[in-house]
Structure 1
């Protein structure tokens, strides 16, 4: 499709590229340039058939392909609805939620549900390399982008993160990055970590927090981050919306 030409203005022709693929590519570009925005419906099969003179099988294949790519959601009675684009996060870089959103031009915000001192369970103590029942700071938050919930986070901070600086306030956590508070208030800079990602089905509480209808898929991330001395500082369990997030990692064949 030529620059500045609408998706429907020129005909498609038979050739090396299948006709369904040509239609899908035009609609994809129309989504990317904002002709069709999230929440809007794409032309239906009948309209595509009339415009391009193709069979129902061809138009359906084009829309099925866009659905498989995660660009639209097809539901009976509603048609093909453009969905919000996924946030792609590299797995080989330690970054805060606010940094991830800023790179994509989205406004991050936070909703802190609880902030309390707790005793480290066996699993938390193992991740933070501290003694069981040591005091840890537990922070339960919802992470939002442009006011839309993207993930929940349950964070545990080791004593090194708050023994000297004291505890953050809920206001401070709602107004900024936790990593920012750690660096500026606690003098703790996170330099590395490891993360495990797995798929799961959201429980009722998580689904409600993320605005999802059950059954809904989520990506569960278990992350442990450490300081320059490789001393664990943070252990966090995040539940990301699977319809809005994807993870990327670079591969090399040795």
Structure 2
């Protein structure tokens, strides 16, 4: 995590009350210590960007060896809960922003509900002949004119995603006059273009950042990115908006809830039919 230049400002130590671990437990000591520290991080007693106690301080707190403490800290670092700054110690990571995908929302719309500030940097808006894959998704003729919009989404003034949006030409012409720097395209479609949205199909994978996107997101070329391919339909089921969304994996998560009940109901129905 690229916080080395600022971490020295966050030198407030965590609480040092003496926790207990059990020598008789079947759970390894380092795992017990990791769980105690993780609980403190997740419940807010150890604030984001605060400095962890040093290894020697943790040795005293838990009355264990340094290697045990290092194992516990190493696991917390692997989980992304802490990061290390050379010569300064370990610090609590800033929690990732996240968006639930159980409902159809624009990025700014979802982030605003969590109190985040979203600003968009418009890279370009142009009209291009529809490539074969875009034409197929939007159900238009290959080579017909479509709008292509590139935007960098800034979360709390830091780049978090690069968004490439394709729209039918008529809608793109209307959005050309809209405020793409501050508004979600979903809201513009509904409010400016009177297009009621219905549902979206998503595909999620991981890719290596290409040069242009890496520069826009302030990451190294080849850095891992979360890629969302999203095709949004209007209320009548017509495809209206096709996007590639590239997210920095170190700053953002997509979350969803999966229901088991529907699978069980389907099995019961099949059993009755058989």
- Name the TM tier (shorter chain): 0.7 to 0.9
1:194–1:126 Cα change, 3 Å:
same
Quote the offset at 1:155 in angstroms.
0.3
- 1:115 and 1:34 map into 2 onto residues whose CA distance is 46
Quote the offset at 1:10 in angstroms.
2.5
Matches within 5 A, 1:81-230: 81-159=91-169, 161-162=171-172, 166-169=174-177, 172-230=179-237
The number of equivalent residue pairs is: 245
- 1:19 and 1:105 map into 2 onto residues whose CA distance is 39
- 2:30 and 2:156 map into 1 onto residues whose CA distance is 34
1:60 to 2:70 alignment: yes
Query: 1:114-145, CA deviations, whole angstroms, 9 ceiling, x for partnerless residues?
Result: 11222211111011011112221111000111
TM-align CA RMSD: 2.4
Aligned match for 1:11, one of 1, 19, 38: 19
Quote the offset at 1:94 in angstroms.
1.8
Aligned match for 2:48, one of 37, 40, 43: 37
Structure showing greater radius of gyration is: 2
Q: Is the 8 A contact 1:129 1:232 kept in 2?
A: yes
Aligned match for 1:46, one of 56, 59, 64: 56
Quote the offset at 1:149 in angstroms.
0.9
Structure-2 residue corresponding to 1:242: 249
1:56–1:218 Cα change, 3 Å:
same
- 2:135 and 2:221 map into 1 onto residues whose CA distance is 33
The two structures have a TM-score, normalised by structure 2, of 0.80
Unaligned runs of 5+ in 1: 1-5
